[in-house]
C-alpha cells in the first residue's frame, strides 16, 4: 500500500511539472446595458432593451518568448460565442491573428469610423447607416499587424466560402505629434466571381485641452452600375472633466445616381462615468435616407451600462 501511495504521488508530481511549463491565465469579464430608445422608423416597438456580454480572455507565454492570446465573446441572445480571436504576438516581428466576428484592430474594420464620440456614431441605428462606410468581412479572417518607424499598419485576408474571390484590406495610422493622428485604409470585397466592391477612407484627428476634432472621407466604388457613394464625416468631442464627455458630429453621403439626394446625418452624444457604471444619451437623425428625398429617420437613446 505504501508503494502504491508513493507511485501515485510521483505520478501527480510529474503531471504538475509537465503542465506548469504551459501555465497561462484566463480572465472573465462582462457588461450589461439597459436602454430606453425612441426610433422614428420603429415607433411601435418596445422602447426597453437590454444587452449583455461575457468575455473570456486567455493568455500565455511560449518558450521562445512569444505570447499567445485568445478572446471569446458571447453577447445578447447568443447561445454560442458571437466573436473570437486568436493572436500570436511575435514581438518586433509583429502579430498574427485569426479573427471571427471582430476586426481585432486589424485592417479596414478598425478604421470604419475613427471620428471622436462620447457614445454612438452619428449614423448608428439609423435606416441608412450602411451607406458610405468602409467594410470588410470578419468571418475567419487572417490578419497581421506591426509598427515600423512609428507607423502602425495591419492587413487582413478572407477567402470567400462560395469561391467568388476573396476579401482583403489594409489600414495604417501615424502620429507625428502627441496631439495629431492621421490614418488611411482600403478594402476589396468580392461580390461574385467577376465583381469586387472597392472602398478607401482617410482622415485625421487632433486633440488639445480635452477637445478632439476629426474629419474622415470615405469612398465606395460599388461593382453595381451607378451605385457608388462618398461620405464626408466631421465630429468633435470634449471631455468636460474626467467623468463627463460630450460630442457632436455630422456626415453627408453623396450618391452617384442622379436620381438620389444627399443623405445628411447628425448626432449628439453624452456620457457620464462613475466607476464601473456609465450613463449615456444620444440623439441621431437622418434626412433623405438612402438618397430618397423627404424620407427621414431619428433615433434617441438613454442608457445605463455596467462593467464587471
Walk me through the domains of the chain, giving residue ranges and CATH numbers.
Answer: 24-307 (2.40.160.10)
What pLDDT score does 164 carry?
A: 60
Q: pLDDT tens, 35-64? A: 999 886 655 678 898 988 999 999 999 999
Check if the beta carbon of residue 162 is closer than 8 Å to that of residue 118. Answer: no
* 166 pLDDT tier (thresholds 50, 70, 90): confident
> Which grid coordinates are listed for 261?
439626394
User: Rounded to the nearest 5 degrees, what angle is found at the Cα of 272, between the Cα atoms of 210 and 214?
Assistant: 40
What whole-number distance in Å separates Cα of residue 191 and Cα of residue 139?
A: 15
Distance between CA 34 and CA 11 in Å, rounded?
A: 51
The separation between CA 233 and the C-alpha centre of its own chain, rounded to angstroms, equals 17
Q: What pLDDT does 286 receive?
A: 96
Q: What is the pTM of this model?
A: 0.84
The pLDDT of residue 138: 78
Condensed to tens digits (0 to 9), the pLDDT of residues 10-25 reads 443 444 444 444 557 8
Nearest to 116 by CA among 267, 265, 251, 249: 249
Cell of 217: 472621407
Give the residue among 212, 176, 204, 189 at the shortest CA–CA distance from 136. Answer: 189
In whole angstroms, what is the distance from residue 47 CA to residue 98 CA?
A: 37
Amino acid at each position: 500500500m505504501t508503494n502504491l501511495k508513493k507511485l501515485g504521488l510521483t505520478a501527480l508530481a510529474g503531471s504538475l511539472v509537465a503542465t506548469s511549463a504551459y501555465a497561462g491565465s484566463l480572465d472573465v469579464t462582462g457588461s450589461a446595458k439597459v436602454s430606453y430608445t425612441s426610433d422614428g422608423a420603429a415607433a411601435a416597438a418596445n422602447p426597453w432593451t437590454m444587452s449583455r456580454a461575457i468575455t473570456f480572455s486567455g493568455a500565455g507565454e511560449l518558450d521562445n518568448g512569444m505570447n499567445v492570446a485568445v478572446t471569446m465573446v458571447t453577447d445578447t441572445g447568443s447561445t454560442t460565442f458571437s466573436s473570437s480571436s486568436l493572436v500570436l504576438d511575435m514581438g518586433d516581428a509583429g502579430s498574427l491573428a485569426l479573427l471571427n466576428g471582430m476586426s481585432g484592430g486589424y485592417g479596414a474594420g478598425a478604421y470604419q469610423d475613427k471620428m471622436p464620440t462620447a457614445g454612438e456614431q452619428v449614423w448608428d441605428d439609423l435606416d441608412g447607416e450602411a451607406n458610405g462606410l468602409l467594410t470588410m468581412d470578419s468571418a475567419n479572417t487572417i490578419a497581421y499587424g506591426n509598427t515600423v518607424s512609428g507607423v502602425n499598419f495591419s492587413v487582413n485576408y478572407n477567402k470567400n466560402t462560395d469561391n467568388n474571390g476573396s476579401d482583403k484590406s489594409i489600414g495604417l495610422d501615424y502620429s507625428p505629434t502627441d496631439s495629431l493622428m492621421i490614418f488611411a485604409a482600403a478594402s476589396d470585397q468580392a461580390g461574385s466571381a467577376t465583381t469586387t466592391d472597392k472602398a478607401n477612407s482617410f482622415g485625421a484627428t487632433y486633440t488639445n485641452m480635452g477637445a478632439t476634432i476629426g474629419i474622415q472621407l470615405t469612398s465606395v466604388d460599388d461593382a453595381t452600375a451607378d451605385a457608388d457613394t462618398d461620405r464626408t464625416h466631421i465630429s468633435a468631442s470634449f471631455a468636460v472633466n474626467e467623468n463627463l464627455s460630450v460630442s457632436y458630429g455630422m456626415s453627408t453621403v453623396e450618391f452617384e445616381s442622379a436620381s438620389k439626394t444627399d443623405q445628411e446625418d447628425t448626432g449628439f452624444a453624452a456620457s457620464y462615468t462613475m466607476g464601473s457604471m456609465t450613463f449615456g444619451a444620444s440623439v441621431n437623425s437622418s434626412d433623405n435616407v438612402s438618397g430618397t428625398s423627404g424620407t427621414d429617420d431619428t433615433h434617441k437613446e438613454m442608457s445605463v451600462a455596467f462593467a464587471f
